[in-house]
Structure 1
Amino acid sequence: MRTPPRPGRRRGLLVAASAVLVAGLLAFHAAVPNTAAHLGSLLETFLPWLGLSIPVLAGLALWRRPAVSLPAVLLALLAWLGLFGGHLLPDRDRASDVTAVQHNVSDENADPAATVRGLLEVRPDLVALEELTPAALPAYAAAFPPEYPHHTVQGTVGLWSRYPLTGAAPVDIRPRAFGTDWNRGLRATARTPHGDVAVYVAHLPSVRLGLTGFDCARRDESAALLGARIAAEPLDRVLLLGDLNNTVHDRGLEPIAALMSTAESDFAFSWPAGYPVARIDQIMGRSLTVTEVWALPATGSDHLPIAARISFQGS
């Protein structure tokens, strides 16, 4: 008769199995199917937070069966570091040519002037805003000082710039189910001292988490339209600023993320403003190097602003 495993050994195996599961989800998150309630996208939205399980598992491993479970916990740690270790490295002095700010200001923001003052603390060259209502737009426009003489607003998204803007026009990223009054994209050419860059500002549809799962189909449809437009952009240098309602690991952003990149110098969580858990606001570049991204102090919005330094060197 085979002797059943002792309770301590069973618990050690359970800890080891849990650690292997965490490692697998981190390393192979793209393999989690999206067919059932978009669980893959839900996982990828909060993927960094799987790291919180690792110290818990390490403590249990040391308490129970270190020889059995610690190697599995180390595997989970290596998987997490492989994805997010770059965020833990100390910031280095990085050369940059342009500073940009991205902010969903919220259509319920009660103090546009204070919001703009907060955004300008980092002296950005480009400022992208979303959820600009017709009623609030004059207040935002009046809050920008003369150093930002160039701006364009298309629908509910806008761009303010130190540099001349040409060719400003709306970009159609509207899902089929939405009405023709839904306009959340724009494109303009910023004529910087370092060369022309196509600047896109976008606000993708929101996602919802409910009884039917993670509803992101319309966001994904809009991301595909935006990705196609960027792929066809004739200028080599492209800068995207927007509330994409995606993290860069979410497969729904793949049509854009396959073309563009962003910095890994900070998690820069931007939502929700009170207790930010994910960066769903993005600053990304093509033939540019986004050298650093960081979150700014809260405004009257439910999002935190994010800022980025961008280098044209080596692009």
Structure 2
Amino acid sequence: MRPGQRAERMGNQVERENSGAAPTGRTRVPRWARCRAGQWVPGGEGNAGRRWAWTRGRVLTAFAVLTAGLLAFHRAVPNSPGHLGSLLEVFLPWLGLVVVLLLGLALLRRSATALVALLLPTAAWTYHFGGLLLPGEESGPHDLVVVQHNVSDENTDPAGTARALTDAGPDLIALQELVAPALAVYEKTLAPDYPYHAVRGTVGLWSKHPLTDARLLDIRPQGVTEPWNRGLRAAVHTPHGEIAAYVAHLPSVRVGASGLASSSRDESAGLLGEAVAAEPLKTVLLLGDLNGTVDDRGLDPLTSRMDVARRGFAFSFPAALPLARIDQVMARSATVAHIRTLPATGSDHLPVTARITLR
């Protein structure tokens, strides 16, 4: 083909394209129906910024599936080294925020695949924690109201703290970190409404109902040589029968670069679980600062034997920005129907109150 003929042919092709005519031997695809592989394009190439794609968001999809796996199979995460499984379980409810973040990114990225994948962690979180968001059931005639509070050994207003706890109208009040001279203030302030009380070491129980057989509970982990009395057991004679009340303060845990340091806490939880298992009374209440959440496998010796709250998150620590509920109320042969926090006191913990339905 001569140069002149080639130029003439190219000119004719440009003229056909400008006039909207289809090239010879080809069918022109309407602009509104144009699409790329794997994409729905509602308005053609001019709407490229508004496309929803199945091929986008693969990283978001992977994170959604990973989050669902951690929620559903958190017990499969090994606890060694560094008690990583327990560390994950302490903050397990907060994976819901990860789901919300991934949802925002999926909408921003306009990834249909990621949105569908987010159904997995949403379902897992709802199954695990959704029931805690439901309103509490109506109180019944055989209910007890209890309050659990680590009052802090640095609390500068023990009298105000005691008055704040009585405002909830509980039948039982369990306290930890009781030290002199604050202990005398708690005893004096609570005495008018709670004539029965027992204190062993740094833990105590105040009751509207008579207490008997109060004794020290040995839950000291090995290696602790200094005075360490953080367990108490007493029988409470309620109008609905005799129950055993346990008050405990398990060892603290620390989060560091190597993970969660919780060996002493886990050992003490095991000793407490053995005491509960050996308790002859049918109904048992456990109130305490357990330095762990009910999802933490370190508290398995207790959660495997006792029921936990069915309603309410009640994050209690730290008081300034509560991230986890480490102040617990558990029961055997009774139901912890609902748990919630009370207003802040002079402690670094928030008080929690729970309604116990006796069976």
User: Shorter-chain-normalised TM-score: which range?
Assistant: over 0.9
Q: Which residue of 2 aligns with 1:144?
A: 190
Could you say which structure has the greater relative contact order, defined with CA pairs below 8 angstroms and 6 or more residues apart?
A: 1
Q: In the comparison of the two structures, how many residue pairs are matched?
A: 308
One-letter amino acid of the counterpart of residue 243, structure 2 = V
Q: Is the 8 A contact 1:9 1:65 kept in 2?
A: no
Distance of 1:288 and 1:87 partners within structure 2: 18
Distance of 1:173 and 1:180 partners within structure 2: 14
Q: Which residue of 2 aligns with 1:231?
A: 277
Of 284, 287, 290, the residue aligned with 1:241 is 287
Query: Residues 273-312 of structure 1: matches in 2 within 5 Å?
Result: 273-312=319-358
Q: Whose Rg is larger?
A: 2
Query: Is residue 300 of structure 2 the alignment partner of residue 254 of structure 1?
Result: yes
Please give the per-residue CA displacement for 1:230-262, whole angstroms capped at 9, x wherever unaligned: 011111100000000010000000000001112
Identity %: 58
Query: Is residue 117 of structure 2 the alignment partner of residue 72 of structure 1?
Result: yes
TM-score when normalising by structure 2: 0.83
Please give the per-residue CA displacement for 1:273-311, whole angstroms capped at 9, x wherever unaligned: 011010000011000111111100000000000001111
Query: Residues 177-216 of structure 1: matches in 2 within 5 Å?
Result: 177-179=223-225, 181-216=227-262
RMSD (Å), alpha carbons? 1.5
Distance of 2:238 and 2:65 partners within structure 1: 49
Q: Secondary structure at 1:279's aligned position in 2?
A: coil
Q: Which residue of 2 aligns with 1:14?
A: 59
Distance of 1:108 and 1:243 partners within structure 2: 16
Distance of 1:65 and 1:210 partners within structure 2: 38
Q: Is the 8 A contact 1:157 1:203 kept in 2?
A: yes
Q: Is the 8 A contact 1:239 1:285 kept in 2?
A: yes
Distance of 2:226 and 2:157 partners within structure 1: 29
Of 215, 228, 244, the residue aligned with 1:169 is 215
Deviation at residue 10 of structure 1 after TM alignment:
6.6
One-letter amino acid of the counterpart of residue 120, structure 1 = T
Q: Secondary structure at 2:246's aligned position in 1?
A: strand
Unaligned runs of 5+ residues in structure 1 are none
Of 68, 77, 87, the residue aligned with 1:23 is 68
Q: Secondary structure at 2:227's aligned position in 1?
A: coil
Of 97, 100, 115, the residue aligned with 2:161 is 115
Of 99, 106, 109, the residue aligned with 2:145 is 99
Q: Secondary structure at 1:122's aligned position in 2?
A: coil
Distance of 1:264 and 1:278 partners within structure 2: 16
Q: Is the 8 A contact 2:56 2:113 kept in 1?
A: no
Q: Is the 8 A contact 1:150 1:161 kept in 2?
A: yes
Query: Is residue 118 of structure 2 the alignment partner of residue 81 of structure 1?
Result: no
Deviation at residue 265 of structure 1 after TM alignment:
1.3
